[in-house]
Structure 1
Amino acid sequence: MNKLLAFFQEPSAVRLAIAPEVLATLVEKGELHATDFRCLDLRSKRIVWKMFLLLAMSKLGGNLHHSERH
């Protein structure tokens, strides 16, 4: 991968669009973290914020149900 980046002059960022479903899958699998990217507009930021909020709620909800059984 470094050989590919060496072709370019120190890229500060790569701008691309990604489907929300693909982003959600990568985040859910832990392959992409909130610190790995930034949103370029408010609408995208709201979508990502809700995505992370729902993911956190689902993880907390799963842990709460698990701990209630024990």
Structure 2
Amino acid sequence: MKLFLSFFKAPQAVKLEIAPNVQAALMEKGQLHATDFRCLDLGSKQIVWKMLLSLAKSKLAAARGNSNPGKETRSIP
């Protein structure tokens, strides 16, 4: 029986499905990074791209708000 089981390798990756809001929360907290996973289809890749852009925008706005209190932040074109 051991010989039979030795033919099967341990998988190189675990394929999961995760809700975008959960993924965004983990990424926002720094618990999950873009280098920790890969997208398996174009739709997922587009969701992740939008998520990363949104997180970057909010972090940039927060950084500008903290460095220039009282000044209005303007959006980047």
User: What per-residue deviation string (whole Å, max 9, x for no partner) do you get for residues 6-38 of structure 1?
Assistant: xx8332111111111111111111111000000
- Between the aligned partners of 2:56 and 2:39, the Cα distance in structure 1 is 19
Q: TM-score, normalised by structure 2?
A: 0.74
Partner of 1:26: 26
Which amino acid in 2 is paired with 1:36? D
Give distance in 2, aligned partners of 1:31 and 1:10.
25
The percentage of aligned residue pairs carrying the same residue is: 62
Code of the residue aligned with 1:23 in structure 2: it is: Q
Structure 2, unmatched stretches of 5+, are 1-7, 71-77
Query: Which SS does the other structure have where 2:68 is aligned?
Result: helix
Bigger radius of gyration: 2
Q: How does 1:5-20 map to 2 (within 5 A)?
A: 9-20=9-20
**CA RMSD of the aligned region, Å?**
1.6
Match of 1:55 in 2: 55
TM-score by length of structure 1 reads 0.81
Counterpart code for 1:13: A
Which is richer in helix? Answer: 1
Q: Match for residue 37 of structure 1?
A: 37
Can you give the 5+ residue segments of structure 1 that lack an aligned partner in the other structure? 1-7
